[in-house]
Amino acid sequence: MDQKTADVSFDSLLRIFTVPEGPDSTLTQIEAKLSQNLNHFLREHIVAEEKPLRDIEKDFSDPAIPEQPQFVSDHTQHLLDTLVSHSVHTSSPSFIGHMTSALPYFLMPLSKIMIALNQNLVKIETSKAFTPLERQVLGMLHRLIYSEKESFYSQWMHSANHSLGAFCSGGTIANITALWVARNNALKAEGDFSGVEKEGLFAAMMHHGYKGLAILVSERGHYSLKKAADVLGIGQKGLVAVKTDSNNRIVPEALKEKIVELKQQGIKPFAVVGVAGTTETGNIDPLRAIAEICAQEECHFHVDAAWGGATLMSNNHRHLLDGIELADSVTIDAHKQLYIPMGAGMVLFRSPEAMKSIEHHAQYILRKGSKDLGSHTLEGSRSGMAMLVYAAMHIISRPGYEMLIDQGIEKADYFANLIQQQADFELISQPELCLLTYRYVPKNVREALKLASPEQQDKIHQLLNELTKFIQKRQRETGRSFVSRTQLNPIQWALRDTIVFRVVLANPLTSKDVLTKVLEEQRQIATKVPSLINKLNEQCLAIQSAPQTTTSN
Amino acid sequence: MDQKTADVSFDSLLRIFTVPEGPDSTLTQIEAKLSQNLNHFLREHIVAEEKPLRDIEKDFSDPAIPEQPQFVSDHTQHLLDTLVSHSVHTSSPSFIGHMTSALPYFLMPLSKIMIALNQNLVKIETSKAFTPLERQVLGMLHRLIYSEKESFYSQWMHSANHSLGAFCSGGTIANITALWVARNNALKAEGDFSGVEKEGLFAAMMHHGYKGLAILVSERGHYSLKKAADVLGIGQKGLVAVKTDSNNRIVPEALKEKIVELKQQGIKPFAVVGVAGTTETGNIDPLRAIAEICAQEECHFHVDAAWGGATLMSNNHRHLLDGIELADSVTIDAHKQLYIPMGAGMVLFRSPEAMKSIEHHAQYILRKGSKDLGSHTLEGSRSGMAMLVYAAMHIISRPGYEMLIDQGIEKADYFANLIQQQADFELISQPELCLLTYRYVPKNVREALKLASPEQQDKIHQLLNELTKFIQKRQRETGRSFVSRTQLNPIQWALRDTIVFRVVLANPLTSKDVLTKVLEEQRQIATKVPSLINKLNEQCLAIQSAPQTTTSN
């Protein structure tokens, strides 16, 4: 049972700390239903048709903290009606638009245990065994990437004054941490200069005589790197975009030229970021080639493998990330392809000495020589999320993860083929991992395009962009399935700004049938915008009735 | 039941995504026991005597990701034996050493629901109703601090291009976010300079002709500010410590002088941090006086109320934070005195325009004009933690929180009196909120000190420091209770480095009896270090047998 009365007395207050919800309470019932069959529970409770955001906002518009306590049961019902019912069914097999997918069941009760223990990983005194556990998890990921010998890990994994990496709330903090370390190592103490961490960036630049700093990354780098460049005082202009090839991979020659160019301008390129699984197309940069350039040019080589890093679990596909073992640091998000709940980012450093440049101590906490994790993290107080990664590694195991990775890649291949077999869909980017992009192009339009002039192509292209946007939005609102959309500049569209559907196929419950239905639904929705279809038809007619001249494409 | 076999087949893999743990499984049983009586469960499972860290590490020493899957039940038992048994009982009524305390029961099932929903708050598409909910929570905290009118919140709370603050993984990220905003606003675009966010710190300094930047804070500021100064490129030397009075509060006159001094050196003091609840002594800076100086000197005024901010919930004590409503930004951690699980930091900004200086967008995510929360946060992907704050606000309500805050403050007063009544304990810092420090000083030593010369005091003082350290460590290892320790420089010890016990009394289950027993245990432990006690006795004898001369103190 919930609290008997919702009055405010110290006794009733103590009850919420001492008396658990009874077996018949609304909260217990809901927890049980959700634990028994999450997808069924969510299908029942999440409303199908999307409610407009401004209507949802009405339920969340009171800035006053309530003066009256609510019964737990009443509030739970309120959460069901206003929040759960209008949340996103991220674990649905037909939610294939983002990197969040289904979770293994065992992680839900384990999460509850983790939260009930309420450890604080900043310090041994508030986390005890969780500290060596987290260090082991970092060791496991480090070994997955760098495959160092056993002696390496027995020497460094639990060393008080070293760190193989940091557990973070997510990939953004992981990337910032990597670039923070790189910046501080590039501008460390020498002579009478006591290092950028103490004297700041201005003094560091004066000392070295640099006119600026630069981080280089492909045009397809994640937006978090822009944030990193801003936070770290380098400035977004210091994040230099390097040309990519037709497969969205950085062009090593272009990288080299850019570095030379920057140096000539007196700008220090202190880090290069290779992307292992771009967010928009899932492609992997040529990591080995970048590593060689970084070694020659004395740049820190960071790999943003937030999404794609889990591919290392598959012996069948880890070759795609060849060269990652040469990186100075690597970001991996366990809440993406390691199927852990939100909030499990990690950054790993090849050298156990790398993080010394950001080490910090404090008297009442993080004493020197202690093994407190907090002395090597950007964050302070942190939860015991590492426990979930640890458990999943043991229960799923490496071969289990291999299967999960492989099924995603195979499914993406299947879907790519399926799209290519359709007369009215066009594959935009081939999947390298389990991510691909495509769009809907009515059959007559595809025919007409073959004869169109560049100007005519432009017009059609604009209309197709609008159509793609419309279909994606409507499909999301209808609530049966969800694909995301982004904008690319594909070769086949002469680098025009092209709006595409984006699909990520990590959920092992996504069947081939689901994929067929997604295409059918998109085709159906297209028929519901006669205005756009009519305009496209008009264009087609104009092309086909025009005298045949030379056309491009 | 758990998985039948722990072989690796795709079918067995699918099972972990589709078949929940059965009612008789180890994991379900443990979850049930812990849900029925957390403290009982932890008392039973956490071993009393502390195991040395290096022994615990042996259980967490394998860097190889397992090649064989484990049964869920087997692994759960393994976690119980190696991890849970050697974790810290942070919710124990006698764990009074840190800011982590008991959690209300209803938050555990709610946490499970939150994790099962696995929303990603970076973007509406992956969080829907969670986005307006988080905006409301930020609005509630904003109103708690700034008490703006209803029209203010209806205008700004859900405005796409504005933000009242950011939900963060913790206070450190919140503080960094505040100072990032402050830095960027101090160095914003003007003329042909396009702002520090674009051009970086070096160009910004050249443009303004500054020789350095400074953040001012009292000597008692949190170590996270040093990290912030490092990350943001200001340098730790740019974090300028200002003198405190005998109550650990910043001296406004000294602050003013420091600002003038810095300006004369060509250094721009762009932010002042007031502390509302110092980590070591729980004192609150004179916020109103700081606000006035900041207004005169055109500095951003940030208040680090990570711990003490929840005091605003109490109408009886919120006057202690008088002036906080003048701050440009405020950090509050809900996982401290708002009794939320680890991972719920927040930063609030008085002006809805403040965060514009760190706004960022990306094509596939965070489109301009959308209400995606990710365009105003340092972090990217984030979980739906705000739901727990929202639920607690409704179920506990403001008057409930008031009681929780008040009981902590009253208990600290009670404990301070209790300590002062003992002949062999010395109160070092009076509690202003629910935090105090003290140490054990044997009765004969206290007597002798009255007659001691400064040199003799020094010697005794050193021995007392060692004794305090010993007692704190031993008490922790014995496992019945836990107080923390820190080092202060109290007036009554002529600013000598003084090691003290530190106690935080937030847990409503901590009884007066527990407090009495903590002192008794400390007294008992002291008798177990005859070497130190003997040395102290020798010093006492030497003092008492010496001819009486003038003594200080």
pLDDT in tens, A400-418: 999 999 999 999 999 999 9
Which one of B342, B365, B396 would you mutate to disrupt binding with A, by most A Cβ within 10 Å of its Cβ?
Answer: B342
A150 near B CB under 8 A = yes
Q: How far is CA A304 from the centre of its chain?
A: 10
Distance CA A149, CA A382 (A): 30
Q: For residues B454 and A328, give the distance between their C-alpha atoms in angstroms, rounded to a whole number.
A: 54
- The residue type found at B198 is K
Structure tokens at B14: 């699918």
Beta bridge partners of B276: B284
Query: Which residues are registered as beta bridge partners of B425?
Result: B440
Question: For residues A39, A42, A46 and A48, what is the CA-based torsion angle, rounded to 10 degrees?
Answer: 20
A545 pLDDT tier (thresholds 50, 70, 90): confident
The verdict on a CB contact (< 8 Å) between B382 and A224 is no
Return the CATH number of the domain spanning residue range A165-359.
Answer: 3.40.640.10
Which numeric CATH code is attached to B403-545?
3.90.1150.10
Give phi and psi for A238, each to the nearest 5: -75, -10
Whole-angstrom distance, CA of residue A35 vs CA of residue A104: 11
Residues 505-524, chain A: which have Cβ within 8 Å of B? 508-509
A74-93 b/e (C-beta count within 10 Å ≥ 16 → b): ebbebbeebbbbbbbbbbbb
Partner-chain contact B86 A391, CB within 8 Å: no
Q: H or E stretch including B226?
A: helix B224-231
Q: Which pair of tokens denotes residue B412?
A: 């600290």
Q: How far is A477 from chain B (nearest CA, A)?
A: 10
Q: Which helix (H) or strand (E) holds A14?
A: helix A10-18
Percent of chain B with pLDDT over 70: 97
Q: Does B171 touch chain A (CB under 8 A)?
A: yes
CA A422, CA A439: separation in Å to the nearest integer?
11
b/e per residue A117-130 (b: at least 16 CB within 10 A): bbbbbbbbbbbbbb
Are B445 and B452 within 8 A, CB to CB?
no
Predicted confidence band of residue B1 (pLDDT cuts 50, 70, 90): very low
Percent of residues, chain B, with pLDDT higher than 90:
90
pLDDT band at B393 (very low <50, low <70, confident <90, very high): very high
- How far is it, in rounded angstroms, from Cα A289 to Cα B257? 55
Q: pLDDT band for position A553 (50/70/90)?
A: very low
% of chain A beyond a pLDDT of 90: 89
CB contact burial B355-383 (16+ within 10 A = b; e otherwise) = bbbbebebbbbbbeebbbbbbbbbbbbbb
CB contact under 8 A, A82 and B31: no
Instruction: Say what the alpha-carbon torsion angle A57, A62, A67, A70 is, to the nearest 10 degrees.
Output: -10
In the structure encoding, which two tokens stand for residue A545, read together? 């009735």
The domain A401-545 having CATH identifier 3.40.50.800: the answer here is no
Q: Are strands A300-304 and A267-275 parallel, antiparallel or unpaired?
A: parallel
pLDDT of residue B545: 85
Q: Is B393 on the interface with A (CB under 8 A)?
A: yes
**Cα→Cα distances B201→A76, A200, B86, B183, B211, Å:** 48, 9, 46, 9, 11
Sketch the domain layout of chain A as residue ranges.
10-87, 165-359, 401-545
B170 close contact with A: CB closer than 8 A: yes
Q: How many CB pairs under 8 A join A and B?
A: 552
User: How far is it, in rounded angstroms, from Cα A375 to Cα A386?
Assistant: 17
b/e sequence A474-503, b meaning 16+ C-beta within 10 Å: bbbeebebbbbbbbbebeebeebebbbbbb
A93 has a pLDDT exceeding 60: yes
Rounded CA-CA distance B450/B456 in Å is 11
pLDDT at site B464? 97
What does the alpha-carbon distance between residue B80 and residue B94 come to, in Å, rounded to a whole number? Answer: 22
Decide if A258 touches B, using CB distance below 8 A.
no
Confidence (pLDDT) at B206: 96
Average pLDDT in the A297-320 region? 98
What integer pLDDT is reported at residue B365 of this predicted model? 59
Q: How far is B236 from chain A (nearest CA, A)?
A: 4
Distance CA A196, CA B32 (A): 52
CA gap A246, B207 in Å, rounded: 40
Choose the mutation target among A120, A155, A381 for the interface with B, i.e. most B CBs under 10 Å: A381
Strand A329-333 and strand B165-168: the pairing is: unpaired
Question: Which residue of B100, B126, B428, B488 is the best one to mutate when testing the A interface, meaning the one whose CB has the most A CBs within 10 A?
Answer: B126
Q: How far is CA A144 from CA A152, A303, A325, A431, B380, in A?
A: 13, 14, 9, 24, 25
The confidence band for B414, taking pLDDT boundaries of 50, 70 and 90, is very high
- The angle at the Cα of A140, spanning A136 to A142, to the nearest 5 degrees, equals 110
Q: What is the mean pLDDT of residues B214-220?
A: 95
DSSP labels for A414-480? HHHHHHHH-TTEEEEE--SSSEEEEEE--HHHHHHHTT--HHHHHHHHHHHHHHHHHHHHHHHHH-S
Which of B117, B371, B498 has the most A C-beta neighbours within 10 Å, making it the best mutation to test the interface with A? Answer: B117
In this prediction, residue A1 carries a pLDDT of 38
Write out the two tokens for B165.
Answer: 């603050």
Q: Which residues pair with B438 in a beta bridge?
A: B427, B501
Q: Are A418 and A438 in contact (CB under 8 A)?
A: no
10 Å CB burial of residue A201 (0-12, 13-18, 19+) is buried
Q: Is some CB atom of chain A closer than 8 A to the CB atom of B262?
A: no
Provide the 8-state DSSP code for B210.
-
Residues in chain B with CB shorter than 8 Å from the CB of A184 are 230
Task: Say if CB A350 and CB A108 are below 8 A apart.
Answer: no
In this model, does residue A2 exceed pLDDT 60? Answer: no
Distance CA B208, CA A255 (A): 33
User: Is residue A455 less than 8 Å (CB to CB) from chain B?
Assistant: no
A475-509: pLDDT as tens digits: 999 889 999 999 999 998 999 999 999 999 999 99
pLDDT over threshold 80, residue B373 = yes
- ipTM at complex level: 0.95
User: By C-alpha distance, which of B56, B80, B46, B47 is closest to A158?
Assistant: B56
pLDDT of residue A362: 65
pLDDT score of A547: 64
**Whether residue A551 has pLDDT greater than 50:** no
Q: How confident is the model at residue A364 (pLDDT cuts 50, 70, 90)?
A: low
CA A330 to chain centre: 14
Distance CA A188, CA A409 (A): 43
Radius of gyration of chain A (CA): 26
Tally Cβ neighbours within 10 Å of residue B459: 17
Distance CA(A369)–CA(A261), nearest Å, equals 44
> What is the band of B552 on the pLDDT scale with cuts at 50, 70, 90?
very low
CB A503 within 8 A of CB A96: yes
Question: Which strands, in side-by-side order, build the sheet including B239-242?
Answer: B165-168, B345-349, B329-333, B300-304, B267-275, B212-218, B239-242
Amino acid A222: pLDDT: 87
Cβ under 8 Å to A: B residues 71-100: 71-72, 75-76, 78-79, 82-88, 90-91, 97-98, 100
Tokens of B311: 């005091």
CATH class of B119-382: alpha beta
A399 vs B67, B106, B360: nearest CB: B67
Residue in B376, B372, B380, B318 with CA at minimum distance from that of residue B351: B376
Query: Would you state the pLDDT for residue A3?
Result: 42
CA distances from A134 to A81, A192, A398, B79 (A): 38, 38, 18, 13
Q: Which of B186, B178, B179, B96 is nearest to B411 (CA)?
A: B96
Of A191, A221, A223, A222, which is closest to residue A207 (Cα–Cα)?
A191
What is the per-residue pLDDT across B53-82, written as a single tens digit (0 to 9) for each? 999 999 999 999 999 999 999 999 999 999
Give the predicted TM-score (pTM) of the model: 0.96
Bridge-partner residues for A213, per DSSP?
A268
pLDDT digits (tens, 9 = 90+) for A169-194: 999 999 999 999 999 999 999 999 99
Q: What percent of chain A has pLDDT over 70?
A: 97
Whether pLDDT at B2 is above 80: no
Mean pLDDT of chain B: 94
Measured CA to CA, the distance from residue A422 to residue B143 in angstroms comes to 55
What mean pLDDT is reported for chain A? 94
| Confidence band of B266 (pLDDT split at 50, 70, 90) | very high
Q: For position B303, what pLDDT does the model report?
A: 98
Count of beta carbons in the 10 Å neighbourhood of residue B291: 22
